[in-house]
Amino acid sequence: MKFITGFIAALAVLAAGGLIYMYSGAYDVAASNPHSPILHWVLVTARDRSIAARADQVGPPPPPSPNSIKEGFGHFDEMCVACHGAPGVERGEVGKGLNPKPPDLSRLSKGTDPRQLFWVIKNGIRMTGMPSFGATHNDRII
């Protein structure tokens, strides 16, 4: 009984400390400052595990056709280059100021699962700047 009371008291103290820290404004949300190594690890691990667990739900991306490649090029130029850049094109000003930095997609490892990339493009990644394009596009570009 004593142990349970002590455990609950410790949880209450932790929760109160967290609330005080949150309301004090001590936590720095500036995108211009990097995350601490621990928070970076927590966020990257949660993101990778979350995407891996959900990528199967959307299935493989539709196979490309000459038309979809041509139209996809235009969409990429219009909607992605400002953040990600492209071969021979630097990230735009928005992309340069984001934290985390939008990766150069031409440098993703060859082993990257296309279903995971498709899931990310369709759903976005909350709190990173990566938008969900599923809100404005269907799964096919024709």
Q: Which residues of this protein are in contact with ligand HEC, per CB under 6 A?
A: 47, 79-80, 82-84, 94, 98, 100, 102-103, 105, 108, 117, 120-121, 125, 128-131, 133
Give Cα 66 to chain centroid, integer Å. 29
Query: Are the CB atoms for 62 and 140 separated by under 8 Å?
Result: yes
CB of 60 to ligand HEC, least distance (A): 15
**Would you say 20 or 71 has its CB closer to ligand HEC?**
71
What's at 51, amino acid-wise?
A: I
Phi-psi region of 135 (alpha: psi -120 to 50; beta: other; left: phi over 0): alpha
CB of 66 to ligand HEC, least distance (A): 19
**Would you say 14 or 139 has its CB closer to ligand HEC?**
139
**Would you say 22 or 108 has its CB closer to ligand HEC?**
108
User: Can the peptide bond before residue 100 be classed as cis, meaning omega within 30 degrees of 0?
Assistant: yes
Residue 112, phi then psi, degrees to nearest 5: -60, 130
**Would you say 7 or 41 has its CB closer to ligand HEC?**
41
